[in-house]
């Protein structure tokens, strides 16, 4: 996914299409215009995902009301498998990677048959052994979100995926609060994941704004995932914690700038600053008029700009030498 300093940026459409394939296509158009690498959806059969008795999460109650069940809410956000076939074709026609998180076994099998190359495992499935086994057997690339997880839980999930054949795993640091308070982001945990498991590490963001994913890119995230919406005022559970198009574009632009700024680990003179070297540095110059044969001393030489003469680092090599010719005040000294 990530090549060199290029961060793989996923625009998480999720269920912000509100169950409309037409809105989903508009979101793909917008994501392409914003410069992301991939668009990601959520594939599920509602009855396989949520029981009739499951309550909504608190943020879902706040955004969609308390009256309906989680199942009723999810049902309105479900796209058909035929919708996903068309959305994959549409995304790939724009050179975008199509991704979708499966939330049940039927959807895992469907996405595998559809030819999805990268399987994104959400934080809520990291302790779902049968689910992990089924994806592991596909032997495809996996991006594993680690929200709500402890290091032992993450270790167990990785072990299951590897046991059943999946070796290409990228971990995403994540906090599943919508939105995530800044005090709970703990971006430094990215380093802990990298050091603990020796796997590529990225970040799935649920904060408001774009600062944190940009900071994650600066810390070396190889993948950034961020929810976006066409309009935060749309009805639905995730719109309020999502970026609008202009914000998504600003995030992508900022991350690309960070990639350029990270550059290489080599400390060297760059082409852009080379033109300033002689202007900013200094040389040994005449402190006063100096006659040929005069011995150079601290009384008759000093250091001033520009830096295209003898370097002040050779100060003691010049002291005590005789002037080979006459020098005017401020003239560059030559030996």
> Computed from CA positions of residues 321, 327, 333, 334, in that sequence, does the dihedral angle turn out positive or negative?
negative
The pLDDT of residue 57 is: 74
* CB within 8 Å of 139: residues ≥ 6 apart: 165, 166, 167
Query: How many CB atoms neighbour CB 283 within 10 A?
Result: 18
The more confidently predicted of residues 91 and 69 is 91
Average pLDDT over residues 1-21: 89
- Altogether, the residues listed in the chain come to a count of 335
Domains within the chain, CATH numbers bracketed: 8-262 (3.20.20.70), 271-318 (3.90.1210.10)
Q: What pLDDT digit, counting tens, does each position of 130-189 carry?
A: 999 999 999 999 999 999 999 999 999 999 999 999 999 999 999 999 899 999 999 999
Contact between residue 285 and residue 330 where contact means Cβ atoms under 8 Å apart: yes
Q: Is the pLDDT of residue 55 over 90?
A: no
Q: Kindly report the average pLDDT of the chain as a whole number.
A: 95
pLDDT, mean of residues 271-278: 94
Name, of 63-72, 190-199, 256-265, the range with top average pLDDT: 190-199
Q: Residue 4: its pLDDT value, please?
A: 67
Share of the chain above pLDDT 90, in %: 85
What does 304-326 look like in DSSP terms, one character per residue? ES--SSS-GGGHHHHTTPBPSS-
Residue-level pLDDT at 1: 64
- Examine the pLDDT at 61 and tell me if it is beyond 80: no
Q: What is the mean pLDDT of residues 50-70?
A: 79
**Where is pLDDT greater, at 50 or 92?**
92
Say which range, 68-82, 254-268, 281-295, has the weakest mean pLDDT.
68-82
**pLDDT tens-digit readout, 112-129:** 999 999 999 999 999 999
For range 301-328, the mean pLDDT: 98
pLDDT of residue 7: 97
pLDDT value at residue 154: 98
Distance CA 50, CA 78 (A): 12
Q: N- to C-terminal Cα distance for the chain? A: 57
- pLDDT, residue 3, reads 63
pLDDT at 123: 97
- CB-count exposure of residue 4 (10 Å: 0-12, 13-18, 19+): exposed
Residue with tokens 């050179």: 95
pLDDT-derived band of residue 5, with 50, 70 and 90 as boundaries? confident
């Amino acid at each position: 996914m990530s090549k060199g300093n290029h961060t793989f940026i996923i625009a998480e459409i999720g269920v912000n299409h509100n169950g409309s394939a037409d809105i989903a296509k508009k979101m793909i158009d917008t994501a392409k215009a914003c410069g992301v690498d991939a668009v990601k959806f959520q594939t599920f059969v509602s009855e396989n995902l949520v029981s009739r008795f499951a309550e909504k999460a608190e943020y879902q109650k706040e955004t969609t009301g308390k009256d309906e069940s989680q199942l009723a809410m999810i049902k309105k956000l479900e796209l058909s498998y035929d919708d996903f076939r068309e959305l994959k074709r549409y995304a790939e026609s724009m050179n975008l990677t199509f991704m979708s998180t499966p939330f049940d076994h039927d959807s895992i099998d469907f996405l595998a048959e559809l030819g999805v190359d990268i399987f994104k495992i959400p934080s809520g499935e990291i302790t779902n052994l049968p689910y992990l086994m089924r994806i592991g057997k596909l032997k495809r690339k996996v991006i594993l979100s680690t929200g709500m997880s402890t290091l032992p839980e993450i270790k167990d999930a990785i072990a299951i995926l590897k046991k059943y054949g999946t070796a290409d795993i990228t971990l995403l640091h994540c906090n599943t609060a919508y939105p995530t308070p800044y005090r709970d982001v703990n971006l430094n945990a990215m380093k802990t994941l990298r050091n603990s498991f020796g796997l590529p590490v990225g970040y799935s963001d649920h904060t408001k704004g774009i600062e944190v994913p940009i900071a994650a890119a600066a810390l070396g995230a190889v993948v950034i995932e961020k929810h976006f919406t066409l309009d935060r005022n749309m009805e639905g559970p995730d719109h309020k914690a999502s970026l609008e198009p202009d914000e998504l574009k600003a995030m992508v632009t900022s991350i690309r700038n960070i990639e350029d700024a990270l550059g290489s680990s080599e400390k060297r003179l760059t082409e852009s600053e080379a033109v300033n070297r002689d202007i900013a540095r200094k040389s040994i110059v005449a402190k006063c008029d100096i006659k040929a044969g005069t011995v150079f001393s601290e009384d008759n030489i000093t250091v001033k700009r520009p830096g295209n003469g003898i370097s002040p680092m050779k100060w003691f090599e010049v002291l005590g030498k005789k002037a080979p010719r006459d020098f005017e005040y401020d003239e560059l000294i030559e030996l």
